[in-house]
Amino acid sequence: MVCSPAHIASQIRERGFRLTPQRMAILNALHESGDHLLPLEIFEKASASLPGITEPTIYRTLDFLVENGFVSVTHVRGRRLEYELTQHKHHHLVCSVCGLEEELSHEWLQPFRDQLEQITGFSLTEDQITFTGLCRHCK
């Protein structure tokens, strides 16, 4: 179970990959923000701690981290995807009027996940969930 940049770092090595300053800078950027970020935002934050890092590296590293399950892709709104550490097991609840965004804990959905595994035969590793609606103020 993934849980922090340091822990992911050791996982990366354990799986036989190299631990580079670029990968750490990106993991730290995501961790410090604690939020979902656009590739450009990740580039800017990572640049602060590691000047010289380039955008191609951001994209290649994100692909690498997603493939290995350390980072998750999220679609909240608009036509852009965002990235966040997989450790933040939560989902999104967005108001379509004012944009208010709340988090939904992972545990909350666990009963459903269990039921789903039983019926479909799948063994679930990730999920990407966004609910959209009107918040208490806007409805």
Partner DNA sequence: TTATGTGCAAAGCATTTGCACGCTT
Partner DNA sequence: AAGCGTGCAAATGCTTTGCACATAA
Least distance in angstroms from the C-beta of 21 to DNA: 6
Task: Give the number of other Cβ atoms within 10 Å of residue 101's Cβ.
Answer: 15
Instruction: List the structure tokens of 22.
Output: 């670029």
Binding piece for a second copy, criterion CB under 8 A, among 1-9, 17-25, 46-54, 93-101: 93-101
Say if residues 91 and 104 touch (Cβ distance below 8 Å): yes
- What SS3 state is found at 50? coil
**Binding site residues, DNA, CB under 7 A:** 13, 17-23, 38-40, 50, 52-57, 59-61, 63-64, 79-81
Structure tokens at 37: 């970020």
Phi and psi at residue 47, in whole multiples of 5°?
A: -60, -35
- Residue 80 · residue 98 · CB < 8 Å: no
Q: Find the binder of a second copy among 4, 10, 96, 105 (CB under 8 A).
A: 96
- To which residue do tokens 């063994």 refer? 123
Asked if 123 is part of the footprint of a second copy (rule: CB under 8 A), the reply reads yes
Residue placing its CB nearer to a second copy in the complex, 19 or 109: 109
Q: Which is nearer to DNA, 38 or 124 (CB)?
A: 38
Residues forming the site for a second copy (CB under 8 A) = 73-75, 79, 81, 93, 95-96, 102, 104, 108-109, 112-113, 116-117, 120-136, 139
